[in-house]
């Protein structure tokens, strides 16, 4: 069988690039599926080109291309005309095109049609089409041009039978109408027709999702012997009685499930999922209280220092009256402060340790870690969760593991993604939370919006304004945080106290801005999505989301959850033209309904962010998966594991272990 290094056109530098991208064998290369396709087989008349289309147009440049420069950014512009009309075309940072295109050239371009900031239709950075057909587009790798990647794949396909054998039992393929793997991979890379492509993508997506679930099921089946926590009778009731508010029925049910897990001889592996404000933090503290009564420490890992500090404040208020000492460990501590924290963790003086990734860093030793909790599950990988678990003193018994997620995920998708965990859903909100009123606001109502923000500020209420970009871009038609901040400070909100924060901002500056907003020293906070989690300001009553159509529904719902945290009426304003997707957000505050709609509209690839990044654990997920397939693969796994199919289940499990060997090995090693 041919080795990867034997492919023509693959020198040492390119081979290193592939290896760094996780492509180390011929099979890896063949499973490096396109992230999308360019259908250059059909040409659209320019008069029919509409915003949102990704299409081919063909014609002659009306004039020679013009080169311009703006803040270090170059743009080449021309007007392309056919017999039906003309369209402006712009390329960014490709100055050589000025001399490569001539008015007498018949140009066929493939790209996206959109509008500029003045609302005029245009084509942005299209490719010049040299080849017609349904062309694969692979994730960009430095030093490997698209044409080279396609040629490498063509060569690799000659070895397909040897390095990519069938993975699915015949009985399963027949039952679920799946083509053979070899046909699927050939057509996924170089489709002959759209029908063949659809058949191929169904097969690779189904296989990827099914094998991922089978691998997760194997992990779950191998759950280790756990630290048994002796939870006293009525301990859950006693914990709820200690709080200043009554629990919901959902909270009571989930804490009982956690208590039963803690008492079990098998290590707990449970995910608690619930909407913003459903009381997951109180459940986490309840689990810590139960663990402390059994004589063991707990560690709670949060994705940001801001969230870790907020958890510590809440923990001190709830847990310290119960005799549970709480402490903080984060990355930015001074040497003396860190040394003292490590001593208190190692001695067991701190029963509850709250922090960031610092909790799993070298040199952190716990006295008797019995429970590990990770907050905002989607921000951490399985490996990071396991690293925290490895901090337990006993190798023979694993600590209990609880993960929290405030990102509503439809149950079926949650079971696919987190198949190694039991699932608890907190499907009830505490009474007294004020539902946020959500409205779409067109551009011509912006002045009225600013007047409303001023009225709210006059009553001591605060506003978030979230932008999709940090800084202005000619390439993307969207408002930036820096541009909006400067505009508001010198214009419509100049008499208010306005702050700015974003992900790449200096850490101290960011922390100080968030502190000021939390303390009521700012009226308005302009930001990117950095405030999506871990900012709790009850006096914030207005959320403005610029270019709301650029965000997924679930992310918009998360952002909306930053307001409505007090008793005051709260509002979320979506700055965008009305559409069906955003209408869903205006009609309901139920995060699970919104997530389901998001999944139906965008598919799992976009929902998980894989379609944009082209980097997914599940091959084909970004291209062919849909909601129905989630259900199908979940049902298929149940069927193949039922009595009578032991041989087929063994084959599928082996295929899953082969497909995800590296990921599973990494988990096992860590």
pLDDT of residue 612: 38
Q: What are 31-66's pLDDT values in tens digits? A: 999 988 888 988 999 999 998 888 999 999 998 999
- In this structure, is residue 400 part of a structural domain? yes
State the pLDDT confidence band at 150, using cuts at 50, 70 and 90.
Answer: very high
- Mark whether 30 and 159 lie in a shared domain: yes
Could you report the per-residue pLDDT of 628-638, keeping only the tens digit for each? 777 788 889 98
Of 303-317, 322-336, 372-386, the poorest mean pLDDT is in: 372-386
The answer to whether the beta carbons of residues 111 and 87 sit under 8 Å apart is: no
Is the Cα dihedral 171, 173, 177, 179 positive or negative? negative
- 51 and 86: one domain? yes
Mean pLDDT, rounded, for 397-408: 80
Measured distance CA(537)–CA(521) in Å, rounded: 12
Cα 373 to Cα 385: distance, rounded to the nearest angstrom: 8
pLDDT at residue 275 is higher than 90:
no
Residue of 335, 293, 573, 291 lying closest to 440 (CA atoms): 573
- For the segment 363-377, the average pLDDT, to the nearest whole number, is 84
**Residue 273 belongs to some domain of the structure:** no
Residue 3 is assigned to a structural domain of this protein: yes
What is the structure's pLDDT at 319?
96
Mean local confidence (pLDDT), 472-496: 78
CB 271 within 8 A of CB 408: no
- When divided into structural domains, the chain yields a total of 5
Instruction: Note the pLDDT tens digit of each residue in 545-578.
Output: 998 988 888 788 888 988 887 778 899 999 988 8
Domain boundary among 362, 388, 405: 405
> For position 602, what pLDDT does the model report?
61
In this structure, the answer to whether residues 90 and 122 fall within a common structural domain is yes
Q: How confident is the model at residue 480 (pLDDT cuts 50, 70, 90)?
A: confident
Whole-number Cα distances in Å, 397 to 268, 290, 369: 11, 18, 11
Q: How confident is the model at residue 395 (pLDDT cuts 50, 70, 90)?
A: low
Does residue 392 or residue 421 have the better pLDDT? 421
pLDDT over 50 (residue 474): no
Q: What percent of the chain shows pLDDT beyond 90?
A: 45
Average pLDDT, integer, range 318-342: 92
More confident residue, 71 or 18: 18
% residues pLDDT > 70 (the chain) = 85
Q: Are residues 346 and 288 in the same domain?
A: yes
Within a domain: 610:
yes
Residue 489 has pLDDT above 80, yes or no: yes
Supply the range of the domain harboring residue 470: 437-588
Q: What is the mean pLDDT of residues 98-116?
A: 90
Which of 38-47, 294-303, 613-622 shows the lowest mean pLDDT across its residues?
613-622
Structure token pair of residue 211: 């094998």
In this structure, are 529 and 652 located in the same domain?
A: no
Tokens linked to 434: 């004020």
Mean pLDDT of the chain: 84
Burial class (CB within 10 angstroms; exposed 0-12, middle 13-18, buried 19+) of 371: buried
Instruction: Identify which has the larger pLDDT, 172 or 632.
Output: 172
For residues 62 and 267, what is the distance between their CA atoms, to the nearest angstrom?
70
Model confidence at 307, in pLDDT bands (50, 70, 90)?
confident
The Cα–Cα gap between 12 and 583 comes to 52
**pLDDT band (50, 70, 90) for residue 667:** very low
CA-CA distance, 289 to 322, in Å (whole number)? 8
Residue of 575 and 225 predicted with greater confidence: 575
pLDDT of residue 669: 37
Q: pTM above the 0.75 mark?
A: no
pLDDT given for residue 492 in this prediction: 92
Residues 560 and 609 in one domain: no
CA distance 642 to 610: 32
Assign 597 a pLDDT band (cuts: 50, 70, 90): confident
End of a domain among 388, 405, 422? 405
Q: Is the pLDDT of residue 619 over 60?
A: no
In a shared domain, residues 386 and 335: yes
Strands 85-92 and 36-39: unpaired
Cα gap 184→44, rounded to integer Å:
29
Looking at residue 392, its pLDDT comes to 62
**What local confidence, expressed as pLDDT, does residue 85 receive?**
95
* pLDDT tens-digit map of 491-550: 899 999 999 998 778 878 888 898 899 889 999 999 988 776 657 788 899 999 998 988
Domain boundary among 103, 128, 153: 128
Domain annotation covers residue 410? no
Please give the average per-residue pLDDT across 108-132, as a whole number.
88
428-470 pLDDT, tens per residue?
A: 877 766 789 999 998 888 999 999 999 999 999 999 999 987 6
Taking residues 650-657, report their average pLDDT.
91
> At 1, which CATH number?
1.10.150
pLDDT at 650: 93
Q: How confident is the model at residue 336 (pLDDT cuts 50, 70, 90)?
A: very high
What pLDDT is recorded for position 478? 60
Helix/strand/coil for 319: helix
522 and 535, same domain (yes or no):
yes
Same domain, residue pair 191 and 303: no
415 pLDDT higher than 50? yes
The answer for residues whose C-beta is within 8 angstroms of residue 535's C-beta and 6 or more apart is 306, 514, 517, 518, 562
Residue 474 neighbours by CB distance under 10 Å: 17
Q: Is residue 270 part of a domain?
A: no
Same domain, 190 and 317: no
459 forms bridges with which residues in the sheet?
A: none
| Domain-embedded: residue 445 | yes
- What is the per-residue pLDDT for 565? 78
Inside any domain, residue 422: no
pLDDT in the model for residue 610? 40
Q: Helical H runs in 439-579?
A: 446-458, 481-490, 507-518, 553-560
pLDDT value, residue 553: 84
- Mean pLDDT (whole number) for 638-644: 92
The alpha carbon of residue 409 and the mean position of all alpha carbons in its chain are separated, in whole angstroms, by 11
Note the pLDDT of residue 475.
46
pLDDT in tens, 531-544: 766 577 888 999 99
Domain with residue 512: its CATH number is 3.40.50.300
Which range has highest mean pLDDT (199-208, 353-362, 531-540, 579-588)? Answer: 199-208
Judge whether 360 and 384 are in contact, CB under 8 Å. Answer: yes
Residues 463 and 520 in one domain: yes
Q: Do 204 and 246 have their domain in common?
A: no
How far is it, in rounded angstroms, from Cα 152 to Cα 14? 11
Instruction: Please compute the mean of the pLDDT values over residues 329-346 and round it to a whole number.
Output: 90
Residue 97 and residue 91 in contact, taking contact as beta carbons nearer than 8 Å? yes
580 band by pLDDT with thresholds 50, 70 and 90: confident
């Amino acid at each position: 069988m041919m080795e990867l290094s034997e492919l023509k056109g693959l020198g040492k530098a390119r081979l290193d690039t592939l290896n760094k991208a996780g492509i180390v064998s011929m099979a890896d290369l063949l499973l490096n599926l396109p992230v999308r396709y360019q259908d250059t087989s059909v040409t659209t008349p320019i008069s029919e080109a509409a915003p949102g289309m990704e299409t081919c147009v063909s014609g002659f440049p009306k004039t020679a291309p013009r080169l311009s420069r703006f803040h270090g950014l170059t743009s080449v512009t021309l007007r392309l005309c056919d017999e039906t009309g003309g369209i402006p075309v712009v390329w960014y940072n490709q100055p050589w095109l000025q001399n490569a295109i001539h008015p007498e050239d018949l140009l066929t371009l493939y790209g996206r049609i959109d509008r500029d900031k003045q609302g005029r239709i245009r084509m942005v950075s299209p490719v010049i089409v040299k080849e017609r057909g349904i062309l694969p587009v692979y994730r960009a790798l430095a030093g490997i041009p698209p044409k080279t990647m396609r040629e490498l794949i063509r060569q690799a396909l000659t070895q397909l039978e040897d390095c990519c054998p069938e993975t699915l039992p015949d009985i399963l393929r027949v039952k679920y109408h799946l083509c053979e793997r070899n046909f699927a991979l050939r057509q996924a890379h170089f489709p002959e027709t759209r029908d063949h492509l659809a058949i191929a993508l169904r097969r690779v997506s189904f296989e990827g999702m099914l094998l991922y679930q089978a691998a997760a099921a194997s992990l779950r089946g191998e759950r280790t012997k756990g630290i048994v926590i002796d939870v006293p009778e009525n301990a859950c009731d006693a914990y709820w009685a200690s709080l200043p508010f009554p629990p919901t029925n959902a909270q009571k049910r989930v804490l009982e499930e956690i208590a039963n897990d803690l008492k079990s001889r098998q290590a707990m592996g449970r995910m608690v999922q619930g909407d913003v404000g459903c009381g997951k933090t109180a459940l986490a503290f309840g689990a810590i209280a139960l663990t402390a009564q059994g004589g063991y420490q707990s560690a709670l890992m949060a994705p940001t220092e801001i969230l870790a500090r907020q958890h510590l404040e809440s923990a001190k208020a709830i847990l310290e009256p119960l005799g549970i000492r709480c402490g903080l460990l984060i990355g930015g501590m001074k040497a003396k402060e860190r040394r003292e924290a490590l001593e208190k963790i190692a001695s067991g003086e701190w029963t509850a340790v709250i922090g960031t990734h610092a909790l799993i860093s070298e040199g952190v030793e716990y006295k008797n870690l019995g429970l590990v909790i990770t907050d905002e599950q989607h921000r951490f990988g399985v490996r990071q969760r396991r690293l925290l678990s490895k901090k337990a003193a006993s190798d023979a018994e694993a600590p209990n593991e609880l993960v929290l997620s405030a990102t509503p995920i439809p149950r079926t998708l949650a079971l696919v993604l987190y198949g190694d965990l039991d699932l608890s859903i907190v499907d009830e909100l505490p009474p007294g939370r004020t539902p946020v009123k959500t409205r779409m606001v067109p551009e011509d109502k912006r002045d009225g919006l600013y007047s409303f923000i001023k009225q709210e500020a006059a009553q001591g209420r605060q506003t978030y304004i979230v932008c999709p970009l940090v800084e202005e871009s000619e390439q993307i038609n969207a408002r930036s945080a820096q541009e909006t901040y400067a505009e508001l400070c010198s214009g419509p909100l100049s008499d208010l106290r306005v702050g700015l924060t974003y992900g790449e901002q200096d850490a101290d500056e960011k922390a100080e801005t968030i502190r000021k907003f939390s303390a009521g020293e700012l009226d308005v906070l302009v930001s990117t999505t950095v405030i999506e989690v871990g900012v709790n300001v009850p006096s914030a009553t207005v959320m403005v989301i610029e270019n709301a159509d650029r965000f997924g529904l679930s992310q918009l719902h998360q952002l909306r959850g930053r307001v409505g945290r007090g008793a005051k009426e709260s509002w979320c304003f979506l700055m965008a033209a009305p559409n069906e997707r955003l209408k869903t957000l205006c009609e309901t505050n139920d995060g699970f309904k919104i997530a389901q709609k998001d999944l139906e509209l965008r598919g799992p690839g976009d929902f998980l962010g894989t379609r944009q990044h082209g980097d997914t654990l599940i091959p084909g997920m970004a291209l062919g998966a849909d909601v129905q397939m989630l259900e199908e693969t979940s049902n298929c796994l149940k069927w193949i594991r039922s009595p009578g199919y032991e041989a087929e289940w063994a084959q599928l499990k082996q295929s899953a272990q082969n497909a995800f060997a590296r990921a599973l090995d990494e988990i096992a090693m860590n």
